[in-house]
Structure formats: C-alpha cells, structure tokens
Structure 1
Amino acid sequence: MAWDWLRPKPGRIFLIGHNKCGTRSFHKLLCKNGYSSIHYDKGRLARRIQANFTFSKPLLDGVDGYCGYTDMELCGEFYAYRLFPLLDLQYPGSCFIYNTRDVSRWVDSRMNHRKGKYARAYLDRMRRAYDDPSLTLEDLRQHWQEAWQRHDLDLKRYFAGRSNFFEFDISVPSEQAVLCRFLRRRGYRIRGEVLPHAGARPAKAAG
C-alpha cells in the first residue's frame, strides 16, 4: 500500500511459554508470513543467550537478526524465556506471546518427549545440580507442575496492564484466531486465523 512507509516497523516477538506448547507451530506461522524466526537451533539459541547473560552482553548479541524467537531452552540447564523482564528492557517495542495448554497434558507431553529421553536427561541434570540421586520421575512431575505455576504467576504479575503481552491456549482454535488479530494490531501482516500444524496431532496439541 502507498502508505505502508508510515507504519512503524514491528518489533521482535518472543514466545515465552514452555516447549511442547506449540512452539514450532508459532515459528511456522511467522515464517509462513515472511518473518525471520529462529526456533531452538539445536540448543544454540539458548546457549548463546546464556553466554551473553553470563558475560553481561545484550542478550541477543550474535543472534539479533531475527524477528521471532521460539523454544529458547537447554534441557535441564537454561531457559532463556525466563529472562523476559530483561528482554523487555533491552528490546523496547517487542511483544511477548505466552503459549499455554492444560498443564497435566503438558507434563505428560514432556514425559513422553523423545520416548522419555528428555525427562531422563532433565532428571539426571536435576540430580546433579541438587546433589540428590534419590530424585524420581514422580518428583520431576511435581517439579514441572510447580515450575509451570511459578512461571505463569511471574508473567501475569510482570505484564499486568501491559499492551505488549498476549496469552493464548494452543488447543483452542478461537484463541489462535484472537492471537492472529493481536499480531495484526501490533503491525504484523499475518494471514489466516489458525497456527500451521507442526509436531504432534492437534488433539494432543503441537509442540
């Protein structure tokens, strides 16, 4: 359109929910609509952000050429999306998307991820971190439930009343439509009303 040059350039988008909550589907939505997005990158994305955080550099130093950032984690080691207040401070104009689902189904999905290898790797690192070899898979289930609730509370406290935050349940098509409209209001050209399918079947929610 002739007046497009008057529109402010949209800022970055950070997906700040957990993995196994439609992260690949959201990544595909951005890519499908012409926006550069980085998803996990075999852990290199989170590892670079971790190094930047440790050595007091801007968090996206070395990975700052993207519009979207999804699945910023290292299993049982580092979860870059937990740095949302610092991302918000360092990258003004960004928006933060909180992808959710039923927490019990999410825990089950993590337990079954890669035929249980993800959960076992996480538990092994948790045992070493706390010097407690007695921790079990049931302890891990409880830990993930508590971690979910803590992250949920932290996000809602921090972003209360803010216009650059949006929460949606990946399993509810009507909420996906509202997400797409939210992004359009923020200046992103998003076609359609649903997330592209990626990962598990929709009934189990993509991850």
Structure 2
Amino acid sequence: MAESPQGRRIFLIGFNKCGTTSFHDFFKANGISSVHWRANTLAMAIHRHLHSGHRPLLDGLDQWTAYTDMVCIPGSPWENSNSDGHPLVEACRCFRDLQASYPHSLFILNTRDPMAWVRSRLKHDQGRFAEAYRRALAPIGVQNDAQLVHHWLQEWHEHHAQVLAHFRFQTPQDFLLFHIDHTPHDELFNFLEPHFPLTSRLFPHHHRSPSGG
C-alpha cells in the first residue's frame, strides 16, 4: 500500500455529491489508504479540534492518506445516528486549517455543475439528506426546499471563490481543480504521480444518472 510520503496527505475539498465515492475508490485501487465520511466522525473530529484549539486537526483519525466526504449531518446515519444535537459541519471548508496542520499535502476541489449538484443532493437517500439539512438550518430561517437550495448555492459559490483565491497564491502546485464531468482524467493522474505511484488509471463513476444523481 502506498503510504503518505513525509506525511503528505490528499484532501478532497469539494462538497459531497461531487464524485467523492469515485475518488475514494480510485485512491484505494492505487494502494493509497483512503477514508470516506466514516459516519460523520471525520467532520466531527475536525470541528471538535478546530474549536478547542487542538492540533493537528485529524489527531486520532490520521492513519489514512486520502480524506473524502468530510461532512456531518445531524441525525445521520439514519436510524442509527451518532450526530443528534451535533452542529452541521462541512469540513471541506476548513481547507486552510487542514493545510496548516498538514503542510505539503495535496488538495483537490472536486466540482460539477452546481444545479446538477443541487438536484443530486435533493434526491440523496430518498430525500432524507435534504430533510435533515433543513432541520439543521431551521434556526437561521431555512424552512423549505427553495430556501435550502438558495443556501446551498450561496455556500457553493463562496467556497469555490475562497478555495480558488487561496490556492492561486498559496502553494498552487499542491492544488487541482477537478470538474468530474469535464476535466480530463490525465490531469488527475499528472497531479498525483509525482508523489504517489499509480497502478490503475481507471477513474470509476458512482451514483451518476442523466438527471444529475
């Protein structure tokens, strides 16, 4: 298995429903130890450490090389929740703090058409994801799908602008913008291969549908 050289890690810093499972499987196929979501615990650890001042951010969950789908939705996993009462966390937005904790790591902004992303999120887990997200945002006035979509799109554009501005000047060589529908896969391979030997050049596609799932 390809371990992280000199502690170098790979962080997927786009939102969920943007190919996170495909990236996770791609990393594993190439012997890169990877973790995906882990039933909220990645995001919960980052949130806890960030707000307590504890560093590094993934202390206790730092045995992997690649980190994908770092989100915590209160009430999930459904029927077996470990996150009731926990804040909503989109830990991909903590990319600056992750870079400070793990210098020289690689950051991939996985992205797609934002309206396709919204449709996929609304459908995710038969609508339970969106329902739980609405409940978490109810204190700030999000009460229906239209308001939820507005919030998601606002977060989307803010996050993308912040990531692109940051990496334009801070270690641009450690950053890749990867549109899951349009970026040639060779760009991903060329980004990773100087640091991690790739044995599989097949990028899988999971959870895709013509309607954007």
- TM-score interval, smaller chain: 0.7 to 0.9
Matches within 5 A, 1:90-129: 90-128=101-139
**How big is the shift at 1:144?**
0.8
Counterpart for residue 96 of structure 2: 85
**Structure 2 Cα separation of the partners of residues 45 and 184 of structure 1:** 26
Matches within 5 A, 1:5-154: 9=6, 11-58=8-55, 59-75=57-73, 77-128=88-139, 130=140, 132=141, 135-154=143-162
Counterpart for residue 184 of structure 1: 193
Conserved in 1, the CA contact under 8 Å of 2:22 and 2:203?
Answer: yes
Question: Unpaired runs of 5+ in structure 2?
Answer: 75-87
Identity of counterpart residues, as a percentage?
Answer: 35
**Structure 2 Cα separation of the partners of residues 33 and 154 of structure 1:** 30
Alpha-carbon spacing, 1:22–1:205, altered in 2? closer, same or farther (3 Å): farther
**Structure 1 Cα separation of the partners of residues 40 and 201 of structure 2:** 30
| Superimposed CA distance per residue, residues 35-85 of structure 1 (whole angstroms, 9 cap, x where no aligned partner) | 111100111111111111122112011101110000001126011111111
Conserved in 2, the CA contact under 8 Å of 1:12 and 1:68?
Answer: yes
Amino acid across the alignment from 1:19: N
SS of the aligned residue for 1:152 comes to helix
**Structure 1 Cα separation of the partners of residues 136 and 98 of structure 2:** 26
Counterpart for residue 5 of structure 1: none
Which of residues 169, 184, 195 in structure 1 aligns to 2:203? 195
What TM-score, normalized to structure 2? 0.84
**Structure 2 Cα separation of the partners of residues 35 and 75 of structure 1:** 27
**Structure 1 Cα separation of the partners of residues 165 and 145 of structure 2:** 30
**Structure 2 Cα separation of the partners of residues 9 and 176 of structure 1:** 26
SS of the aligned residue for 1:57 comes to coil
| Superimposed CA distance per residue, residues 104-136 of structure 1 (whole angstroms, 9 cap, x where no aligned partner) | 0000100111111111110111013x2x3x732
What TM-score, normalized to structure 1? 0.87
Amino acid across the alignment from 2:31: G
Question: Unpaired runs of 5+ in structure 1?
Answer: 1-7
Conserved in 2, the CA contact under 8 Å of 1:176 and 1:195?
Answer: yes
Q: How many correspondences in the alignment?
A: 193
**Structure 2 Cα separation of the partners of residues 27 and 52 of structure 1:** 24
SS of the aligned residue for 1:171 comes to coil
Conserved in 2, the CA contact under 8 Å of 1:27 and 1:70?
Answer: yes
1:155 pairs with 2:163: yes
**How big is the shift at 1:205?**
6.2
Alpha-carbon spacing, 1:190–1:73, altered in 2? closer, same or farther (3 Å): same
